[in-house]
Amino acid sequence: MTHGDGFPYRAPWWLPGGNPQTLWAALVARRHFGPAPRWRRSRWSTPDGDFVDVDESLHASDSQAPLLVLFHGLEGSSASQYAVAFADFAAAHGLAYAVPHFRGCSGELNHAPRAYHSGDFAEIDWILRRFATENPDRPLLAVGVSLGGNALMRWAGEMGQEAQQRVRAIASVCSPLDLAAGGCAIGRGFNRLVYTRMFMRSMVPKALQKLEQHPGLFDREALLAARDLYEFDNLFTAPLHGFRDTADYWARASAKPVLQRIRVPALALNARNDPFVPAASLPGPQDTSASVVLWQPPQGGHVGFPVSQGPFGLPGHVRAMPEAVGNWLLAHL
């Protein structure tokens, strides 16, 4: 079913439009009501001889309380505003909480001649299997934000019935489930000037470090000349992860084509004014199985959903989205 009333979000009057809602939430709005999360980091060795860093929140939880696992977005981490806000939700509700970092996103370059990508469902599967093995008494819930949500939904579609052996329910938040539509949107106009530059400022230096680690991996001069994510993915992300080019990567890594194969309770939340994810590209009921619920409120931006607070509403907070998504997940235990 498709509706916005599962999360009847209303943007503050002083934040009209997707870009202000996105930027205010990321840069200014309050992230937590309780104390800031404190983390314990573990390093997991991957089957291919690399590593993944996992941050677990140190707040108290019962030994049999559910574990909420969050998969972050492009160039995100446990410090991202949404990761902190979900940590606050988990602490308030007595849940255990963990943020596994995609390779290269924990502050230290990974070892292998690969990084991470939007359709990395094999990595999601390995991570969730390990969480399940290490926490046999805890029911598992998973949420993925933006890129992490596409990868999580892709995993659920690929796994079908088997996903129920790992998790009780999953959610994606502001995920570009049609990667080509999202990739085109972020490469145009204001998005290109602001968001593309922000991502490239982080991704290009890491790619160059990767080239120092593994000489000959890609063409250095061509990468330095890349001006958008399409060109970056063509030179780096696609070939390093087994795709022919950007078009092949965006087509084969998108979760939208496999939403009909999902058999575990799954929520897809997308604001219809998300600057990265065109409303026309969002899935409708005809694109999903009966296990998938679609929340598509008209406002919210990209992982924004800021809410007014106090007499003047400034700076507001971003806890409403984790509350709505988290409570939906808890309802499926």
Active site residue ranges: 146, 274, 302
168, burial (CB in 10 Å: exposed 0-12, middle 13-18, buried 19+): middle
Cα–Cα distances in Å, from 198 out to 34, 56, 236, 270, 278? Answer: 30, 27, 17, 22, 20
Rounded Cα distance between 183 and 12, Å, is 28
Computed on alpha carbons and rounded to an integer, the radius of gyration of the chain in Å comes to 19
Q: Which of 69, 117, 127 is nearest to 255 (CA)?
A: 117
All residues at 6 or more sequence positions from 40 whose CB lies less than 8 Å from its CB, including other chains: 55, 56, 58
- H/E run at residue 189: helix 189-191
The CA distances from residue 118 to 87, 95, 244, in Å, are 23, 27, 15
52: enclosing H helix or E strand: strand 51-57
Query: What span, in angstroms and rounded, lies between the C-alpha atoms of 333 and 317?
Result: 27
The amino acid present at 227, given as its one-letter code, is: R
CA–CA distance, 209 with 103 (Å, rounded to integer): 13
Q: Tell me how far apart the alpha carbons of residues 19 and 306 are, in angstroms, rounded to a whole number.
A: 12
